[in-house]
Amino acid sequence: NAGVTQTPKFQVLKTGQSMTLQCAQDMNHNSMYWYRQDPGMGLRLIYYSASEGTTDKGEVPNGYNVSRLNKREFSLRLESAAPSQTSVYFCATITDRLNTEAFFGQGTRLTVV
Amino acid sequence: GQQVMQIPQYQHVQEGEDFTTYCNSSTTLSNIQWYKQRPGGHPVFLIQLVKSGEVKKQKRLTFQFGEAKKNSSLHITATQTTDVGTYFCAGRGTGGFKTIFGAGTRLFVKA
């Protein structure tokens, strides 16, 4: 029982390159979230998916796209990476509307040069 | 849109001193959660508050949810070096799925 698994753990990209961050959960949760964390900025919501087949924008969606492939997987894509997207990215899952405890993956540390 | 503000940004304390972080939302919340993140780690859930005026305790930690369900606080009594980390509040608005985090308060404890 791994909980929430993110891949890769580290990545360095050149400006303009694209990549997809993967997130998979084995907790059978409906809701999944992508956050980015910058020093002193806390966790900012990029996109979320309340259930399989739905996605919605969060606080900072520009430059990102997401796919809720199935109940287990929620991917985040950077089509053309920019240095401003250098950050630590966290995927999280939440079980349902009432119980809103979030379980986080270990994070992906992304550097765009 | 919904905003969650948290103060202070940093707090340095001597071991044994108390510590408090405050969280304020621009909108009424259905609930609020508190998380702790150790340096280099990921946020870990501490507690959830749901009811107006609710107070919960976990050993030396006391959590409060305001009467208007727009603010909350976390108080640590007699800090220890193991309390070092960043404490985040996170709020969910009524009727929605968006969970918005505060910027966090980073706690430094000097032995």
pLDDT digits (tens, 9 = 90+) for A81-112: 999 999 999 999 987 766 678 899 999 999 99
| Substitution target from B98, B105, B106 for chain A, most A beta carbons within 10 A | B98
Q: Which of A35, A42, A56 sits opposite B103 (nearest CB)?
A: A42
Residues 6+ away with beta carbon under 8 Å from B108: B10, B11, B12, B13, B84
What confidence score (pLDDT) does residue B81 get? 96
Cβ-Cβ contacts under 8 Å between A and B: the total is: 58
Would you say how long chain A is, in residues?
Answer: 113
Mean pLDDT of B48-64: 97
Mean pLDDT of A26-52: 90
Q: What single letter denotes the amino acid at residue A90?
A: F
Interface touch A101/B48, C-beta < 8 Å: yes
CB A103 within 8 A of CB A24: no
Mean pLDDT of A65-85: 96
What confidence score (pLDDT) does residue A99 get? 66
Q: Is the pLDDT of residue A47 over 70?
A: yes
Q: What angle do CA B49, B7, B110 make, to 5 degrees?
A: 100
Q: Rounded to a whole number, what is the distance in Å from the CA of B12 to chain A's nearest CA?
A: 16
A50's torsion region: left (phi>0), alpha (psi -120 to 50) or beta? alpha
Mean pLDDT value across chain A = 93
What confidence score (pLDDT) does residue A101 get? 86
Q: Rounded to a whole number, what is the distance in Å from the CA of A65 to chain B's nearest CA?
A: 17
Q: Is the pLDDT of residue B11 over 90?
A: yes
Q: Which helix (H) or strand (E) holds B17?
A: none
